[in-house]
Amino acid sequence: MEPAALRSGFNDHISVESNGGFDCPKNKQPFIIGVAGGTASGKTTVCNQIISQLHDQRVVLVNQDSFYRSLNDDQLVNVHEYNFDHPAAFNTELLLSCMEKLRRGHPVNIPSYDFKSHKSIEPSRLVNPADVIILEGILVLHDFHVRNLMNMKIFVDIDSDVRLARRIQRDTVERGRNIQNVLDQYSRFVKPSFEEFILTSKKFADIIIPRGGDNDVAIDLIVQHILTKLGQHDLCKIYPNINVIFSTFQVAFIYVVVEHGLGHLPFTEKQIITPTGSVYSGVVFCKRLCGVSVIRSGESMENALRACCKGIKIGKILIHGDGKNGRQKLPADISSRHVLLLDPVLASGNSAIKAISLLLSKGVPETSIIFLNLISAPEGIHAVCRKFPKLKIVTSEIDSSLDKNYGVIPGMGEFGDRYFGTD
């Protein structure tokens, strides 16, 4: 029996975690982008361009400016002594709690800030949860906790002279300042704080955009990346070494997973002369292969592997449930081969970790292991990917979670029993 026949409707089981960690459906967490850069570098302009190109997605823009602390009366009297470019000028705790609520899928009230009175004003802005949240501001890459929220970090990089010219223009027109105020504030606070806190956060950026809003190519690439990520499971946003095969009903077939796994192996071009004398160009794997099945359910994938790679050697690993080390029968030269580790279900990850550790102890490099499975639980992916970031996982489905007996939900029951007809 093919495993696809064991399951039905397995694409429509998005569930909600019950542990208070996240209230969002598991693979529906928002994609959070941070956009930093010096004053008047074009952060807001870049964000608006990204938003306009993401027209089919729910996007919200949160400005760090909204979290400026209101000045008290004493501070207002001496406003020219106040450093608005220092991290302490912002209420970062409030920013973090608002971002956390949005991340969990809750609406939130964001304060409104008035640059003329230097205070928060009513009404605040009700922001609804969205697929993409963009957080923009001079210091959003400075604070470790704020940075940690982000899936993508952008720094807008523009010549300081251009920024100063734009700032004079903007602050005199929109923020009620005169040129002398702007220049004094710039040389006393804005420039030194830029060098101390903003420029030093540039190293945390994933993308640096020269020329800001004029850089159409950079904005286009960013939008494409966001669209790709929005289509992916959340775990793929965290672990680049996990590959989920496009999930239609048919692709749960073992053969497709095996073929896809083979596609991850390095190969070189090879030409041969056919019996009719013509030249045929094909490819050959750079290194010899070996399958290793985890007994017993992994054996269900062996036929597919043999069908794809005639004569491939296949070893076996038996994992004990009682904490003892696993037993194995593996080719003597396994350390010089690429290993396709076969186990159709990745649940807690405990068996997989034992099997992988055993392969490593036999000298197989982590980079030479491709773990092929059909159904995986997020818990197993976290466990394996954290411990072995250099191996690849190829799966056809990431399910919702684990039950208390470490069974995958919804999963497909005891795979070995169902496949071999012993249930």
Ligand X SMILES: Nc1ccn([C@@H]2O[C@H](COP(=O)(O)O)[C@@H](O)[C@H]2O)c(=O)n1
Ligand Y SMILES: Nc1ncnc2c1ncn2[C@@H]1O[C@H](COP(=O)(O)OP(=O)(O)O)[C@@H](O)[C@H]1O
Compute the least distance from the CB of residue 127 to ligand X, in Å.
18
34, 37, 315, 344: which one binds ligand Y (CB under 6 A): 37
Question: Nearest approach, Cβ of 179 to ligand Y (angstroms)?
Answer: 15
Q: Please give the residues from 204 up to 263 whose contact with ligand Y meets the rule CB under 6 A.
A: 212-214
Look at the alpha carbons of 209, 213, 214, 220 in this order and tell me if their dihedral is positive or negative. Answer: positive
Who's near 153: CB < 8 A, 6+ residues apart?
A: 33, 34, 36, 141, 147, 204, 205, 206, 207
371 with 352: CB under 8 angstroms?
Answer: yes
Structure token pair of residue 159: 């010549």
* Residue 297 interacting entry, from Mg ion, ligand X, ligand Y, none, C-beta within 5 to 8 Å by type: none
Q: Hey, is 306 helix, strand or coil?
A: helix
Q: Is 399 helix (H, G, I), strand (E, B) or coil?
A: coil
DSSP state of 81: G
Q: Which amino acid is at 88?
A: A
The residue within the footprint of ligand X, chosen from 32, 36, 138, 393 (CB under 6 A), is: 138
Tokens of 288: 């010899």
Instruction: Taking the CA atoms of 379, 380, 383 and 386 in sequence, report the sign of the dihedral they define.
Output: negative
Stretch that binds ligand X, among 39-47, 50-58, 355-363, 383-391 (CB under 6 A): 39-47
68 binds, among ligand X, ligand Y, Mg ion, none (CB under 5 to 8 A by kind): ligand X
Tell me: cis bond preceding 87? Omega within 30 of 0 counts: no
Give every CB contact of residue 112 below 8 A, 6+ residues apart in sequence. 66, 120, 121, 122, 123, 124, 125
Separation of alpha carbons 64 and 86, rounded Å: 13
Q: What share of the chain is helix, strand, coil (3-state, %, to 5)?
A: 40, 25, 35
Residue 45's binding partner among Mg ion, ligand Y, ligand X, none (Cβ under 5 to 8 angstroms by kind) is ligand Y
Tell me which of 31, 85, 235, 400 binds ligand X, using CB under 6 A. Answer: 85
Of 213 and 378, the one with the shorter C-beta distance to ligand Y is: 213
The residue among 194 and 371 lying less far from ligand Y, judged by its C-beta, is: 194
Conformational region of residue 166, where left means phi above 0, alpha means psi within -120 to 50, and beta covers everything else? alpha
Select 165 or 318, whichever has its Cβ closest to Mg ion.
165
Scanning residues 41 to 60, which ones bind ligand X (CB under 6 A)?
43
Answer yes or no whether residue 65 interacts with ligand X by CB under 6 A.
Answer: yes
Q: Which residue, 37 or 261, has its beta carbon nearer to ligand Y?
A: 37
State how far the alpha carbon of 241 is from the alpha carbons of 227, 302, 307, in Å.
19, 23, 26
Q: Which stretch binds ligand X (CB under 6 A): 38-46, 203-211, 284-292, 381-389?
A: 38-46
Q: Which does 84 bind (CB under 5 to 8 A by kind): ligand X, Mg ion, ligand Y, none?
A: ligand X
Q: Considering CB distances under 5 to 8 angstroms, the limit depending on partner class, which of Mg ion, ligand X, ligand Y, none binds residue 313?
A: none
Number of residues that bind ligand Y (CB under 6 A): 13
With contacts defined by CB under 6 A, how many residues of the chain interact with ligand X?
A: 11
**What CA–CA distance (Å, rounded) separates 360 from 369?**
9
Closest CB 43 distance from ligand Y, rounded Å: 3
Q: Which residues pair with 127 in a beta bridge?
A: 108
Tokens representing residue 380 in the block: 């197993």
Residue 143 or 171: the one with the smaller Cβ distance to ligand Y is: 171
Per CB under 6 A, the list member of 32, 40, 164, 359 interacting with ligand Y is: 40
Q: Does 43 bind ligand Y (CB under 6 A)?
A: yes
- Interacting positions 111-130 with ligand X (CB under 6 A): 115, 118
Q: Assess 67 for contact with ligand X (CB under 6 A).
A: no
Q: Is 39 in the site for ligand X (CB under 6 A)?
A: yes
298 binds, among ligand Y, ligand X, Mg ion, none (CB under 5 to 8 A by kind): none
Record the tokens describing residue 165, joined without a space: 């010219």
Q: Give the end-to-end CA distance of the chain in Å, rounded to a whole number.
A: 13
* Residues near ligand X, by CB under 6 A: 39-40, 43, 65, 68, 84-85, 115, 118, 138, 190
* Residues near ligand Y, by CB under 6 A: 37, 39-45, 166, 170, 212-214
